[in-house]
Amino acid sequence: MTVTVIGVNHRTAPIEVRERLVWSASEIPGVLSQIAGSEAHPVALLSTCNRIEFYLGSSSAVAREAVWQAAADRLGESVKPFTYVHEGRDAVRHVFRVAAGLDSMILGEAQIQGQVRDAWEAARGYTGPILARLLQDALSVGGRVRAETTIGRGAASVPSASVDLAKKIFGQLKGRRALVLGSGEMAELAMACLVGAGVEATVVAHLHLEQAKSIAAKLGGEAVAFDDAWERFASVDIVLTSTAAPHAIVTPAKVREAIAARNRRPLCILDIAVPRDVDPEVGNLPNVLLYDIDDLQGVVDATLSSRQERVPAADQIVSEEAERFWEWYQGRRVVDVVRAFRDNAEHMRLHELQRAMKKLGHLSPRDREQVEYLTKALLQKFLHTPTIRLRGAAGNGTGNDIAEALRYAFDLSDPAEPDKETEESETE
């Protein structure tokens, strides 16, 4: 029995494969039930646009085959060429790295933490105690990595870079005013991010007033005619430009007067149009902080580079936590084997005692009690030393191999088979 990860991600499978493999939230219980099967193999599924991973709490060949089959049915072909498999310690480490965002397409992204939580929630009733603990630990490792390394700090996309830049100028964005020139998906995304960060009054200017009104309605702002936009440079704090103009439309001549009337308040201009909407000379006006799309990408690159530098510290935390989990896991496994070993011995004692008593019917009740006491005492003495030594071995990390040998020698059932009672008590 061991923890196993079978998965595909953005590095091993192209988008065409991943998009076909994704299980929606409503489909997950069905596939988990299918893989768990009648033997109730412990299983969980993390399904995101960049990663589909099955977590198995046993080394059962049946469960693995069920995973391959479910994935192949979904994809319409064998999924094996795109998959990776991690087992044991590697699997634990992998799950922890995933939750910490260290294996994500955008290093350190925080969304994965919520997705792991969703996977755990969706798999309740299927995980068994080992996987339940693994996923809970993964969430806390993710939190610890983010808190201790600040790997998630900074903007990792152009819209969030816009917010970061504005925040570095104005601090809190609550109550700030913004002007949007033009339209476009990126502009709307960036503006939505700014509004989400607290920017309140927005003014939208567009060559077509109807278009401006439509965007303003989405952002909860005011629409103005394009030619009325220039005087607004005096009153707003942030200008976001994204027109389809073939040349710069914001020039020093048009905005110099309005900017001079700002009384030295900084003005942040975010020009995300290509070709650029704002003449670079505007950036030389006093207290104007002008950024184009390359600058915003520069913020993103700086963030990602900074996050990359934090990976060794994050990996160190992951290794520490994976080792801690593994110690718990081994200890728990040994305890389960010891319990099975003792139950097995007790079962044999009772069976043999019953047989013997049938032949010793002439014994008085007191003698019968003595015989039963003798069998109990013998068994206790026989089991005492192995039990103590196995528990000791569990503490120093060698218990798992010995437990396996014991399980093999006495033909004990696999203690990893889920025990519903234990599972519920540990996952609540």
Q: Which residues are the active-site residues?
A: 49
Task: Please report how close the Cβ of residue 313 comes to other proteins at its closest, in angstroms.
Answer: 5
**Distance in Å, CB of 229 to other proteins, minimum:** 24
Interface with other proteins (CB under 8 A), residue total: 33
- Per CB under 8 A, which region of 23-31, 81-89, 284-292, 326-334 contacts other proteins? 284-292
State the DSSP string of 348-371: HHHHHHHHHHHHTTTS-HHHHHHH
Stretch that binds other proteins, among 168-176, 181-189, 323-331, 391-399 (CB under 8 A): 168-176
Residue 179 CB, shortest distance to other proteins, in Å, is 18
Residue 95 burial (C-beta neighbours within 10 Å; 0-12, 13-18, 19+): buried
- Locate tokens 């910490």: which residue? 100
Residue 393 phi, psi (nearest 5): -65, -35
Q: How far is CA 144 from CA 99, 111, 317, in A?
A: 10, 15, 8
* Near other proteins in 251-270, by CB under 8 A: 263-266
Closer CB to other proteins, residue 94 or residue 146? 146
Report d(CA 418, CA 423) in Å as an integer: 7
Question: Omega into 275 within 30° of 0, i.e. cis?
Answer: yes
Q: How far is the CB of 221 from other proteins (least distance, A)?
A: 22
**Interaction mask 399-428, other proteins, x per CB under 8 A:** ------------------------------
Residue 171, interface with other proteins (CB under 8 A)?
Answer: yes
Q: Does 281 bind other proteins (CB under 8 A)?
A: no
Site for other proteins in 293-352 (CB under 8 A): 295, 298-299, 302-303, 306, 309-310, 312-313, 316-317
> In whole angstroms, how close is the CB of 286 to other proteins at the nearest point?
8
Q: Which of 50, 149, 157, 242 binds other proteins (CB under 8 A)?
A: 149
Give the nearest distance from C-beta 306 to other proteins in angstroms: 6
Question: Can you say how many angstroms the Cα of residue 230 is from the centroid of all Cα atoms in its chain?
Answer: 45
172 and 196 Cβ atoms separated by less than 8 Å: no
Distance from the Cα of residue 376 to its chain's centroid: 51
Please report which helix (H) or strand (E) contains residue 47, including its range.
Answer: strand 43-47
Angstrom distance (rounded) from CA 72 to CA 164: 43
Judged by beta carbon, residue 172 or residue 396, the one nearer other proteins is: 172
Between 115 and 303, CB nearer to other proteins: 303
Our CA dihedral for 346, 348, 352, 357, rounded to 10 degrees, sits at: 30
By the rule CB under 8 A, 280 interacts with other proteins = no
Q: Residue numbers of the site for other proteins (CB under 8 A)? A: 146-150, 153-154, 165, 167-171, 263-266, 283, 287, 289, 291, 295, 298-299, 302-303, 306, 309-310, 312-313, 316-317
